Structure 1
């Protein structure tokens, strides 16, 4: 008789364990809220790293005057030499 019973339990285990797990979970959930008492205070959401970065960039942009730019001639003086000319001796 025992082998037949174990075969039936093994065959229908998902149909038995899900309702048992559901009841245990529901009881545990309500027991936890009963022990805690009142509702917890809502937690203020923290900004994500991407949002903080975007805010910082916007603050930096607000402080700059975009009409004052460096001329291209000044920028070209500090440009690195071409990669292909690095190993060639410079002509004086």
Structure 2
């Protein structure tokens, strides 16, 4: 008789354990909220990293005077030499 019983338990185990686990989970969930006592406060959504970066860049742009720019000649003087021309002798 024991082998037949163990075979039946092993065969129908998923059909028995799922409802038991569901009931235990539901009871635990409601018990936890009963112990806590209050409803959860809605969590404010945080801004994503890209949104914070865009906001920071906009704040930086607001503080600058866009009419004052560096001339192209000044920019070209400080431009690094190309990597491929680094070992070539300078032409005078």
TM-score between both structures, scaled by the size of structure 1: 0.82
**Structure 1: which 5+ residue stretches go unaligned?**
none
Give the length in aligned residue pairs.
92
Please report the RMSD computed on the Cα atoms of aligned residues, expressed in angstroms.
1.8
Q: What is residue 69 of structure 2 aligned with on the other side?
A: 69
How far has the Cα of 1:23 moved from its partner? 0.1
Matched residue of 2:52: which SS? helix
Matched residue of 1:87: which SS? coil
CA deviations on 1:27-86 (whole Å, 9 max, x unpaired) are 001111111112233333333322222211111122223333222211111111122221
Query: RCO greater where, 1 or 2, for CA within 8 Å and sep 6 or more?
Result: 2
Q: After TM superposition, which residue ranges in structure 1, 4 or more long, deviate above 6 angstroms?
A: none
Is 44-53 or 25-34 further displaced after alignment? 44-53
TM-score between both structures, scaled by the size of structure 2: 0.82
**CA distance in structure 1 between the aligned counterparts of 2:56 and 2:47, rounded to whole angstroms:** 12
